[in-house]
Amino acid sequence: MKYKAWKKERLKKSIMLLLAFLMPYASVYYSDFIDLLHNKPNTAGIKVFASTLGSRPQGNYGSDVLAINNEFSKERNNTANKFKILMNYKLKTMKIIINNKDAAVLYNKEEADRLINNFKAYYLEKAKVDRESIARLELKGNIEFKEYYCYEWELDTMEGALNKLLAASKNDNLNLEIDTLEKYTEEISPKVTIKSSNELNVGESKTQQGENGSKEIEKKTLYINDKKVKEIIIKETITKQPKETIILQGSRLTEEKLSAVLAKPSRGSVTSFYGMRWGKMHKGTDFAGKIGDPITAALDGRVKEARFEPTYGNMVILSHGNGIETLYGHCSSLKVKEGQRVNKGDIIAEVGNTGRSTGPHLHFEVRINGIAKDSLKYIK
């Protein structure tokens, strides 16, 4: 129906109704009636009319219709409204359009704004964002609000409209971007440094306990809807420097302490002991072995000598400090260089038959302040 024809029809109906029901009061309600004729259609349907007469609205209309209901309740004695309702005119409503697609229809702009707030609240809740930390909250997507005339029954409920918006966000047409900015303090654990100390015996240690430091961290977190997308540390300020923990390990070696730390330098069994042999002093301990068997450092130390010597053949002398040295002789090859630091158990040479030797074996000596001692006294 063309608008003009429809308007004419409306006028006709109005006059007939007026005559039928309200003639006796025509003079009283005259001004309301004139008002109706000059206004754009802005009325609720019969269903709403029923609710205005006192009963609560039924069905899915909920708070939307309650709002309408209240409005009508206030004015239900307004003749013009009675006419509007009876005529079943269309309501002036608010349509929400997202990226050029109709998304939902609500009663008015306030309802539409409430919908947007509900949408934001839904994702804020789901993302478990601390509201106080929010630095930016932005809806991404083209949202338009448009006046729209429709019957009351065409309106979305708030819940229905929210579901439509959530569906749009699943299709990436509407997204809520959340930035949070948090400031918090984090502890800094102290660095641990191990130092050797000549004031403590080998095997002893002492810890100088450090202290935790602290730093203040400013972190920005980006969410899209309920998903955490990015975390950026913006600023880190050390508010208290940590104090390092120092572990002092004893390096002072005494003859008495040596047995606690000296390791066997070869896997072989002892074939010749320290002491007088064939009328001559044998200053070391001989260990059986095949050419190429590994020889390992008996203790941490520094390579004092690694060279050929006519009697000992290829030999290594390790210095362990405090006048203690170990010697490894008759080697087939040397694996370390003078000046190098070695740890207990490191391979430093291989068993051989060089120098004054009658077969492959390791000649091992322990020297304390230059004097060869019985190494088996110290090896357990």
Q: Which runs of E-coded beta strand occur in 5-127?
A: 91-98, 101-106
- φ/ψ of 328, rounded to 5, equals -130, 115
**Smallest gap from residue 335 Cβ to Zn ion (A):** 20
User: Judged by CB under 5 A, does residue 363 bind Zn ion?
Assistant: yes
Contacts of 238 (CB under 8 A, 6+ apart): 188, 213, 214, 215
Q: Is the CB of 197 or the CB of 272 nearer to Zn ion?
A: 272
Q: Is the CB of 111 or the CB of 286 nearer to Zn ion?
A: 286
Q: What dihedral angle (degrees, nearest 10) is formed by the CA atoms of 226, 231, 234, 238?
A: 120
Cβ(350)–Cβ(360) below 8 Å: no
Candidates 157-165, 177-185, 346-354, 362-370 — which segment interacts with Zn ion by CB under 5 A? Answer: 362-370
**Whose CB is nearest to Zn ion?**
363
**Smallest gap from residue 201 Cβ to Zn ion (A):** 30
**Smallest gap from residue 340 Cβ to Zn ion (A):** 25
User: Judged by CB under 5 A, does residue 152 bind Zn ion?
Assistant: no
Candidates 21-29, 42-50, 90-98, 280-288 — which segment interacts with Zn ion by CB under 5 A? Answer: 280-288
Q: Is the CB of 242 or the CB of 355 nearer to Zn ion?
A: 355
User: What is the rounded distance in angstroms from the CA atom of residue 113 to the CA atom of residue 158?
Assistant: 11
Q: Is the CB of 225 or the CB of 354 nearer to Zn ion?
A: 354
Cβ(309)–Cβ(379) below 8 Å: no
Q: Is the CB of 90 or the CB of 363 nearer to Zn ion?
A: 363
Q: Where are the alpha helices (DSSP H) in 171-310?
A: 255-261
**Smallest gap from residue 337 Cβ to Zn ion (A):** 24
Binding mask 281-310 for Zn ion (x = CB under 5 A): ---x-x------------------------
- φ/ψ of 62, rounded to 5, equals 50, -140
Contacts of 230 (CB under 8 A, 6+ apart): 221, 222
Candidates 152-160, 198-206, 363-371, 372-380 — which segment interacts with Zn ion by CB under 5 A? Answer: 363-371
Q: Is 239 helix (H, G, I), strand (E, B) or coil?
A: strand
Q: Is the CB of 213 or the CB of 284 nearer to Zn ion?
A: 284
User: What is the rounded distance in angstroms from the CA atom of residue 258 to the CA atom of residue 117?
Assistant: 78
Q: Where are the alpha helices (DSSP H) in the chain?
A: 3-22, 26-38, 46-52, 62-75, 79-86, 109-127, 158-170, 255-261
User: Judged by CB under 5 A, does residue 64 bind Zn ion?
Assistant: no
User: What is the rounded distance in angstroms from the CA atom of residue 118 to the CA atom of residue 355?
Assistant: 93
Cα distances (angstroms) measured from residue 6 to each of 3, 13, 153, 326, 372: 5, 10, 21, 117, 126
**Smallest gap from residue 269 Cβ to Zn ion (A):** 14
Cβ(271)–Cβ(286) below 8 Å: yes
Distance of CA 141 to the CA centre of its chain: 28
- φ/ψ of 319, rounded to 5, equals -105, 130
Candidates 24-32, 51-59, 109-117, 276-284 — which segment interacts with Zn ion by CB under 5 A? Answer: 276-284
**Smallest gap from residue 364 Cβ to Zn ion (A):** 8
Q: Is the CB of 257 or the CB of 363 nearer to Zn ion?
A: 363
Token reading at 191 = 């660095």
CB atoms near residue 265 (< 10 Å): 27
State which of positions 197-226 bind Zn ion (CB under 5 A).
none
State which of positions 239-268 bind Zn ion (CB under 5 A).
none
**Smallest gap from residue 267 Cβ to Zn ion (A):** 17
**Smallest gap from residue 243 Cβ to Zn ion (A):** 52
Q: Is the CB of 284 or the CB of 360 nearer to Zn ion?
A: 284
Q: Is the CB of 82 or the CB of 363 nearer to Zn ion?
A: 363
Partners of 105 in beta bridges: 95
Candidates 11-19, 46-54, 273-281, 357-365 — which segment interacts with Zn ion by CB under 5 A? Answer: 357-365
Q: Is the CB of 164 or the CB of 363 nearer to Zn ion?
A: 363
How many residues sit in the footprint of Zn ion (CB under 5 A)?
3
HSE (CB half, 13 Å, CA atoms) of 91?
A: 23
Positions in the binding site for Zn ion (CB under 5 A): 284, 286, 363
